[in-house]
Structure 1
Amino acid sequence: MKLSDLEFFLEDFLAYCQNKNLSRKTINSYEQSLKLFVAYLKNQHDVDKVKEVRVGHIRQYIAFLQERGKYTVVNRESSKLVNFPENRMDFKKEVSSITINNYIRNIKVFFNWLKQEGELLKNPVENISQIKTVRRQKKGISQEEFNGLIEKFDYTKFHGYRNKIIVLLLQDTGMRIGECLELTADAIDFKSKMILLTKTKGNKERYVYFSNVLQRELKQYLKFKDRYTESELLFPTTKGTPLSIQSFEKQLKDVSKMAGIDVHPHMIRNNFARHYLLNGGDFYTLSRILGHSSVTVTEAAYMDLTREEIAKKFQNHSPLSKWKMQN
């Protein structure tokens, strides 16, 4: 089947991204969001050429997403016969402002690339801005909740013990779950208590650090793991193959339900950052540990500590309480 003009340039853009060695996650994000936009242009405006796209098309697409809701826009109508989006619990629910802004960002990257390639005289995204977002406070995990979660893992089974160590590692280091599941045992430096991450977001190597408590846990786990598998991966499946993010997320969800809380991997990473700051850590060091592109990104993500936490921290740093006052 012959590609339209827009489809051709989209495929060319994705090839460009691959040549730039962007991460699979980034390329998949571009492909998914841009194919939906291309399908919208064709179906709603009969536009299939790059030079026909106007700023109004993009503005109307943003409004379309806000009005229509989740899973109402598909790349191919035939996919509905396979995926049945209308059966999803969140079908037609409001698309979050964060998701819409991700779509806007990807569309802007695509058209800026087209302008750079000399395919456009006028860039339709020049006057497109992201929509205003309402920040949602990141929910923390208390010590009692965390201990309750850890206790629900079945330590007698390989996958249960493995998953427990993964959760402890995420809480102690703040690494992403994707980075964690790519680890090999030789990445751990027990002497310096740090781990080298090589397969990261943005493909930039960095170190994360762990405590004496986790050091003991990791050493015990490695002895346990070596009895079950010869895999070089730190956290393989029982068959020695790579553990997927989706599989771990499902297993964590099942255990967290047993513990009476709702926990996912990124929530644990957020919890690390929250408690790192509450324990006196600084934003600059936290930004390096988390692998953020700048301190500004870290500050924007973790300035939403709860009033109770701020009040507690204030009591430890109040100037007046440190002074010796005369009665």
Structure 2
Amino acid sequence: MSASHTPQGTTGLSYRDAGVDIEAGDALVDAIKPFAKRTMREGVLGGIGGFGALFEISKKYKEPVLVSGTDGVGTKLRLAFELNRHDTVGQDLVAMSVNDILVQGAEPLFFLDYFACGKLDVQTAATVVKGIAHGCELAGCALIGGETAEMPSMYPEGEYDLAGFAVGAVEKSKIIDGTTIAAGDVVLGLASSGAHSNGYSLVRKIIEVSQPDLNADFHGQRLQDALMAPTRIYVKPLLALIETGMVKGMAHITGGGLVENVPRVLQDNVTAILHKDAWTMPPLFTWLQQNGGVADAEMHRVFNCGIGMVVVVSKDNAAAAMQQLQAAGETVWQIGEIRARVGDEAQTQVV
């Protein structure tokens, strides 16, 4: 007969006693299934619930190359907690990864998410995942799986963290790598929807210092609405533009702003000259700069300043590319040009 290890006078402990509610996890899976179902596309084999997510690559690719990306939402989540707004951060999560793989010409195929919390609030988690599914719809990719981790004592009550993983495919011969970019080419800038998901440690510091009323009117909306606007997803309009063969290079303007992201698509022998008066900096960035006393150079290094995606095309194709993007609903400006690089000068200059 085995000896009992339960202390005398106590009952056996359960996982729920330790802070993990299996039933809540099951309820979340049931709640998010309809959202995930709406994102299904050709190639998905099976649904949510398996140990691994299965996806069959389309036969339209002769030499498919898989392109993958992963990211989070950063400290924008802290604003979401403080404002109790969880409906937009899911789109931020998807956007950060799908926009990244898009710049190499990849069509996003599927997405997985990781949601970690101390105690699972089913309603909050379902709201977040609904936003993830909406982002996947905008990107045309399937929400094919994910993980919800309830980890007591790891996160404060009411808080969670997010990570996302996108996988796309591109024909090997059509990978966009910037190697054809040459002096005389034109730089187009696509409008951002706000600060997207970058620079929020500085945003929160500015809020802390200036103590604004986040519910006050700000150019026709509340200030908090401007601050929490979800990241724009550029996938469908840019995939259509890529099909025309006009795109030479693209840069997703994330952490590091214009000056650090544009060089990532340039060869060593060229530089991009961007003209800051070529586009209108949205009121949110003007507000951040004024209330934080932020220098111009720091603004361009931290924030997208109104340009969420950069596209490089030849001068001959610039008008047609702009027309096609505008017809697809994008706001686009010609913001600069490519010229030969002199010495070791900076590869992107905002003048």
TM surpasses 0.5: no
Q: TM-score range by the shorter chain?
A: under 0.3
Bigger share in strand: 2
The structure whose residues are more often helix, as a share, is 1
Normalising by structure 2, we get a TM-score of 0.21
Higher relative contact order (CA 8 A, sep 6+): 2
